[in-house]
Chains A and B, each alone.
Chain A
């Protein structure tokens, strides 16, 4: 038995040391672009890295591979939390991170600043997207903006007229009760906060990611009520797609790409933006501090914001591109107008996913509920 405990202690020591070693050893920013390493490992949202295997016409990876010799391997991240977890493993070179992941990745030392001089296409990115709080620290860019958009409402076109309000997602007498599908992630608490902004203005919520304890409790209460009308919580986009196709869901939160995929399989659905303003995302491609293929990662960053590839992603995923020149290259000439690519006023109604912190993001002098509490509350809600 002595030997056993000695072994266990030794083992623990090794692992603990290993765990503590991580964090601040982040590689520095790349100064010069070298030869490609032959491969690049990406963590991305579904629909961001398409090589024609989903739809032969949707392919912006094959040219990249032929041009640079960097073979693209992609791991789909289903949520921001999952992406943070994947990037912590150090197995990946770059990630398409949303605003509720970027700051956590930066603080955790999992990503390094990006030398935008080595990314020629960066010059064409909308100025309104550069050096924002979610993609830079002290004026140092930590990635290149990929695109932005809003989380939409998807509805079954045979189930009635198009819904226009987020109230249908929360009200116990929603005509869609029992067939509602909700995004299964702590960040969805912000959607409840938007619902409260419209229905309970006396709570004084101005930013759905800056909730003090009272506001937060009200949001959780709204979600508890919502539970009785929810048919499914979706964590995998394929689950949402399947439910829309077989009709078991008639209203839900969605990304445009899911609507595209389900429609292609014959689902009778459409999507809309609700009137109250919506949560959304502004994504950033970031480079890992432990990247084994930094040169290929830089080449990928430059490629994914190149006018053609950026237009392809924007149309396929259903979001506004980040490159101003992309708007001339979309198959639908109105794409940029439809998705409000440079319409800052429109995007003032979209609340980009952000990591909630103790210091209220809206500048109030009270204590806000930090993200770790959001996670705990969501887990309890779903338990």
Chain B
């Protein structure tokens, strides 16, 4: 809590300063500045979401394959009550959670090392090294992992992994989880690193003085203070994983996630059903954001 108390006044101060400088009509200036992005947000962002929700109620002409404006709840009930789709959504959430946990498990010690143990020089080099993959295209990375994870076979060499260690998970949900964790790792690392850097040394010292071991300090002092950062990082990794469908196509084998079923419906082409499927990730993300908001994620973004 201490860290938050420290920060809050600073933010308010500078906020007041900015507003104070535009003396004659601060409100006018502010709206002038914000109107363009705000309009964009409303029309393009909220507008298209609203459209998506409305078109989920449209129906499809059986033969021409085109949406008509006759309203129906058929798509929604198809998307939300059929066992196959519900289990698919369950699996998608499972993959997103697993990828998020994997990112966290890898990012926590890495970030701790960079923020607390590394020398200043190493720190800079490591941060650059860990951010550098963000410069590489998504597809390049996904296909690289395809080359790594490809299963071996009697009739071919398989990927690097099966060549090197004689085993690979092959294509499927495990491969998808690994690839997603690899893709989104920096998004978990950076918030945790930022959180760790702000963590006052005095707290850790106090904890040690009071006789807590390092594990206990981690559990009772660091983790609660870092929770907002972890929550913020997990929003990135969870939402990016949940919505992904390209990685699934590249390393998924026969695996499918929500995004794939949306794509299928779109290409069918059955836009209303696709729109109905998109309500799933929307609802899941709203719920997830609500939970993470309680964990303080938005205080650190």
A232-B171, A246-B156 known; A16+B69 contact, CB < 8 A: yes
Are the CB atoms of A248 and B153 closer together than 8 Å? Answer: yes
A8's contact among B50, B154, B155, B171, by CB below 8 Å, is which? B50
Residues of B147-163 at the interface with A, using a CB-CB cut-off of 8 Å, are 150-151, 153-158
Q: How far is the CA of A116 from the CA of B67 in the complex (A)?
A: 32
Among A7, A109, A236, the most chain B Cβ lie within 10 Å of the Cβ of A7
Q: How far is the CA of A383 from the CA of B43 in the complex (A)?
A: 33
A79 adjacent to chain B (CB < 8 Å): yes
Residues of A344-383 at the interface with B, using a CB-CB cut-off of 8 Å, are 355, 357-358, 370-372, 375-376, 379-383
Segment at the interface with B among A17-25, A47-55, A123-131, A193-201? A17-25
**Complex contacts, A375 vs chain B, CB 8 Å:** 268, 270
Are the CB atoms of A372 and B47 closer together than 8 Å? Answer: no
Residues of B241-263 at the interface with A, using a CB-CB cut-off of 8 Å, are 249, 253-254, 256, 260-261
**Complex contacts, A23 vs chain B, CB 8 Å:** 64, 66
B7 adjacent to chain A (CB < 8 Å): no
Are the CB atoms of A383 and B67 closer together than 8 Å? Answer: no
Are the CB atoms of B85 and A247 closer together than 8 Å? Answer: no
A interface bracket (residues with beta carbon within 8 Å of B):
35 or more
In chain B, what residue has the closest Cβ to A4? B42
Main DSSP-derived SS at the A contact region: helix
In the complex, how many angstroms separate the beta carbon of B147 from the nearest chain A beta carbon? 10
Q: How far is the CA of A108 from the CA of B66 in the complex (A)?
A: 7
In the complex, 8 of the A-B residue pairs with CB atoms within 8 angstroms, ordered by the A residue number, are A4-B42, A12-B54, A108-B65, A108-B66, A158-B155, A236-B249, A379-B261, A382-B254
B5 adjacent to chain A (CB < 8 Å): no
In chain A, what residue has the closest Cβ to B156? A247
A247-B156, A379-B261, A383-B256 known; A104+B67 contact, CB < 8 A: no
Main DSSP-derived SS at the B contact region: mixed
B6 adjacent to chain A (CB < 8 Å): no
A143 adjacent to chain B (CB < 8 Å): no
**Complex contacts, B155 vs chain A, CB 8 Å:** 156, 158-159, 247, 250, 268
In the complex, how many angstroms separate the beta carbon of A300 from the nearest chain B beta carbon? 25
**Complex contacts, A381 vs chain B, CB 8 Å:** 84
Are the CB atoms of A232 and B253 closer together than 8 Å? Answer: yes
Q: How far is the CA of A235 from the CA of B260 in the complex (A)?
A: 12
In chain A, what residue has the closest Cβ to B63? A107
Which residue numbers of A lie inside 8 Å of B, CB to CB? 4, 7-8, 11-12, 15-16, 19-20, 22-23, 79, 81-82, 84-85, 88, 103-104, 107-109, 156, 158-159, 179, 186, 227, 230-233, 235-236, 245-248, 250, 268, 355, 357-358, 370-372, 375-376, 379-383
Are the CB atoms of B65 and A104 closer together than 8 Å? Answer: yes
Q: How far is the CA of A235 from the CA of B249 in the complex (A)?
A: 9
In the complex, how many angstroms separate the beta carbon of B263 from the nearest chain A beta carbon? 10
Task: For the complex of A and B, list the 6 residue pairs with the smallest distance between their C-beta atoms, beginning with the closest.
Answer: A247-B156, A247-B155, A108-B64, A85-B269, A246-B156, A380-B84
In the complex, how many angstroms separate the beta carbon of B290 from the nearest chain A beta carbon? 20
In the complex, how many angstroms separate the beta carbon of B124 from the nearest chain A beta carbon? 40
**Complex contacts, A104 vs chain B, CB 8 Å:** 63-65
In the complex, how many angstroms separate the beta carbon of B173 from the nearest chain A beta carbon? 14
**Complex contacts, B85 vs chain A, CB 8 Å:** 380, 383
Are the CB atoms of A376 and B46 closer together than 8 Å? Answer: no
Are the CB atoms of B254 and A84 closer together than 8 Å? Answer: no
Q: How far is the CA of A383 from the CA of B107 in the complex (A)?
A: 32
In the complex, how many angstroms separate the beta carbon of B135 from the nearest chain A beta carbon? 26
In the complex, how many angstroms separate the beta carbon of B301 from the nearest chain A beta carbon? 23
